[in-house]
Amino acid sequence: MVRMACMDPEFFMKTIKKNNLVKANVACRPIIEDVLKTMYDLDDGTACSDFENPLIRPRLPSAKLLAVGGWSQHTMNRINAYDTRADRWVDVTQEDDEPNSCHGTVYLNGYMYCIGGYDGTHAVNTVHRFDPITRAWQQVALMHSCRCYASVAVVDGYIYAMGRDDFLCLNTAERYDLETNKWTLIQPMQEQRNVAGATILNGKVGGTDRSQYLRSVEAYDPTTNSWHTVAPMSTIRSYFGIAVVDDQLFVLGGYDGLGVNKKVECYDAETGSWYHAQDMIAANDTFSCCVVPALPRIVQYASPR
C-alpha cells in the first residue's frame, strides 16, 4: 500500500484528491478520507504508532538501531527503532510487549535477544528474541540464574551472559546455543561481578567487576573453558563504557565508589598492559559505547568546547 499520508499535504490535495480519475472512482473515496484524517492526526499529534497505520508505516531500513525497554520512573516496554537514512526514530512498541529494564541485548542471526533484566519487582532469568521484520517476540530457553545488569557478548555464534541476580554479585556465567535452544553453565569467573562490562577481544570474553569497586579484569577462552586474570586497570570502575577499537580494549568513565570520573584507558593484548588515553570531555557513568567504522564527516559531530 502506498504510504499516502507521508506525502506533502499540499501535493496530495492538489494532485491526488483533485485527480479526475480519483474523483470518479467511488472506491477511492474512503481511502482519501482515511488519508486526510491521518494527516490531520499527524498534524495535531494524535496519530497512532507509525507501525500500526499502513498509511504512514515507514519502510524497514537495512540497518536499524533498536532502543528496548529501560527505566523512566518505572520499568518500560517501549521499543524505538532509529532509521539512519531518514534520521528519525519510530515507535514499534506492541501492546503485549513486556516491560523490562537493566537487561542485556545482543544481535545474532537476524534476531535481537533481550537477556535477563528487571521486571519492576525482581531480577528475571527470561530471554526473549525480537524479529525486526515481523516485530514479533518469542521466548527462548530460560537461563540458569536470574540476572540483572547482566554482561552479555557473542562469540562464535554463542551468546554469553554473566553477572548478578537480584541482590547478590555472582561469579557464574553461561552460554546459549541457538541450535539446541539451551543454556549451559561454563566455568565460573574468578571474581563475583555486578554491573560489569564485557566485550570481545581476539575471540575472548573480557570483563571487569563492581563487587567491591575493584579494578580486576579477567578473560574467558571458549576453547579451553577457562577464565584467567589479565593486568588490572589503573582506575577502579563500575557503570562504565567499554568498547574495542583497532584491537585495543577501551574503558571509559564510570563510578569508583566516591564519584564519577572521566578517565579513559586502553588495554593492549599484545603487551598485556593498560595505557592511559585522553580523558573524556566530561565525567560520565551508566552509559554505553559502540564503534562506528569510517564515520563520515566526523566534524559534523563535533561541537565547540
Considering the domain architecture, whether residues 163 and 259 belong to the same structural domain is answered as: yes
Burial profile 135-153: b = 16 or more Cβ within 10 angstroms, e = fewer: eebeebeebebbbbbbbbb
Give dist(CA 140, CA 190) in Å, integer.
28
Number of domains in the chain: 2
| Confidence (pLDDT) at 57 | 55
Q: Are 240 and 285 in contact (CB under 8 A)?
A: yes
Considering the domain architecture, whether residues 138 and 218 belong to the same structural domain is answered as: yes
Residue 173 lies in a domain: yes
Residue 187, classed as helix, strand or coil, is: coil
Considering the domain architecture, whether residues 208 and 286 belong to the same structural domain is answered as: yes
Q: Are 209 and 194 in contact (CB under 8 A)?
A: yes
The contacts of residue 228 (CB under 8 Å, 6+ apart) are 218, 219, 221
| Confidence (pLDDT) at 136 | 81
Q: Are 103 and 150 in contact (CB under 8 A)?
A: yes
Kindly report the backbone phi and psi dihedral angles of residue 107, in degrees, each rounded to the nearest multiple of 5, phi listed first. -115, 130
Considering the domain architecture, whether residues 154 and 30 belong to the same structural domain is answered as: no
Grid coordinates given for 280: 573524556
| Confidence (pLDDT) at 276 | 92
Q: What value, to the nearest 5°, has the Cα angle with vertex 220 and ends 127 and 111?
A: 30
Residue 208, classed as helix, strand or coil, is: strand
Under DSSP, the state recorded for 108 is E
Residue 284 lies in a domain: yes
Q: What pLDDT tens digit does each residue of the chain (305 aa) get?
A: 456 656 677 887 888 788 888 888 888 888 888 877 777 766 665 544 454 555 555 555 555 666 766 666 666 666 777 766 666 676 767 666 666 677 888 889 988 898 988 887 888 899 989 887 777 889 999 999 988 888 889 999 999 998 776 567 788 899 999 999 999 999 998 877 766 778 888 765 555 554 467 788 888 899 999 998 899 998 888 888 888 888 888 998 988 888 999 999 999 988 999 999 989 888 988 777 777 666 555 555 554 44
User: Which residues pair with residue 277 across a beta bridge?
Assistant: 264
Considering the domain architecture, whether residues 27 and 161 belong to the same structural domain is answered as: no
Considering the domain architecture, whether residues 198 and 118 belong to the same structural domain is answered as: yes
Q: Are 22 and 32 in contact (CB under 8 A)?
A: yes
| Confidence (pLDDT) at 85 | 65
Burial profile 261-295: b = 16 or more Cβ within 10 angstroms, e = fewer: bebbbbbebeeeebeeeeeeeeebbeeebeeeeee
Sole residue written with cell 565525567: 283
User: Domain containing 287: what range?
Assistant: 94-301
Residue 208 lies in a domain: yes
Distance of CA 301 to the CA centre of its chain: 21
CATH classification of the domain holding 234: 2.120.10.80
Q: Are 237 and 251 in contact (CB under 8 A)?
A: yes
Q: Are 88 and 101 in contact (CB under 8 A)?
A: no
Considering the domain architecture, whether residues 33 and 104 belong to the same structural domain is answered as: no
Q: Taking the alpha carbons of 40, 42, 45, 46 in that order, is the dihedral positive or negative?
A: positive
